[in-house]
Amino acid sequence: MKTFGAYLRKAREDKELPLRKVAAVLDIDTSILSKIERNERKATIEMIPLFSTVLGIQIKELQIEFIKSVVISELGGLEFLKIGLKETLVEL
């Protein structure tokens, strides 16, 4: 599975946007954005609308990619992950 950082990098490169321009919209240093793209740091939920604006991607798509990445990276090794997710969805 492609990580959220790799997803963001590809989207940025597809738009031919330099790190500095995207980082400026996020109000973070380019080194932090670079680390997010390399999965050395995690993007925050608050960054999603900003990424949406600068990359021209719908918030829904970004949230889905973010959720997938967080669930897999944090819980991907759990044997009963699918069952737990199904039960969680029933409760929502």
Q: Is the pTM of this model over 0.85?
A: yes
| Calpha distance 38→4 (Å, rounded) | 9
DSSP 37-70: HTTSS---GGGHHHHHHHHT--HHHHHHHHHHHH
Say how far apart CA 16 and CA 31 lie, in whole Å. Answer: 18
Q: Please determine, for residue 92, whether its predicted confidence score (pLDDT) is greater than 90.
A: no
| Range from 1-5, 21-25, 48-52 carrying the lowest mean pLDDT | 1-5
Number of residues written out for the chain: 92
Per-residue pLDDT for 21 more than 70?
A: yes
| Residue among 56, 59, 88 at smallest CA distance from 71 | 88
Q: How far is CA 50 from the centre of its chain?
A: 12
Question: Encoding tokens for residue 11?
Answer: 């989207």
For residue 1, is pLDDT > 80? no
Q: What 3-state DSSP class applies to 41?
A: coil
Rounded to whole angstroms, the Cα distance separating 13 from 54 reads 12
- If you average pLDDT over residues 15-26, what whole number do you get? 97
pLDDT tens for each residue of 35-44: 999 999 999 9
Q: What is the pLDDT of residues 40-67, one digit of tens each?
A: 999 999 999 999 999 999 999 999 999 9
